[in-house]
Amino acid sequence: MYIITWKYVTNHRNAQQFEFAYGSSGDWCALFKQSGHHRGSYLYKSDTTAYTYFLIDMWDTAEHYEKFKKQHKTKWEELDTHFRDLYDQEEKIGTFLSLD
């Protein structure tokens, strides 16, 4: 399993929209569900830092993730541009491989 982790910081004006867009019913997950190799995306809200979120995207392999990203480049860039105003900070924490 290939896991990508992200940290986002938003603000009170955009928090609800951000949660929907990046949550399990949002546009990103709708795009990812087109792949048979996406294993889920999970959004968590910090209980200690306001408007701070942790996002986990899970794929079968890095190759599947990269291939899907290239195949859907136009839609990927469209969503990225469309939702960019919903957060103040985006940080890719890192990528990880499952030991199982």
Task: Specify the pLDDT at position 54.
Answer: 98
Structural domains of the chain, with CATH? 2-97 (3.30.70.100)
Identify the CA nearest to 82 among candidates 39, 46, 31. Answer: 31
Task: Specify the pLDDT at position 100.
Answer: 78
Q: Which amino acid is at 22?
A: Y
Identify the CA nearest to 27 among candidates 9, 41, 37. Answer: 41
pLDDT digits (tens, 9 = 90+) for 13-66: 999 999 999 999 999 999 999 999 999 999 999 999 999 999 999 999 999 999
Average pLDDT over residues 81-99: 96
Helices 73-83, 62-71: inter-axial angle, 10-degree rounding: 90
Average pLDDT value for the chain: 96
The residue to which tokens 């491989």 are assigned: 97
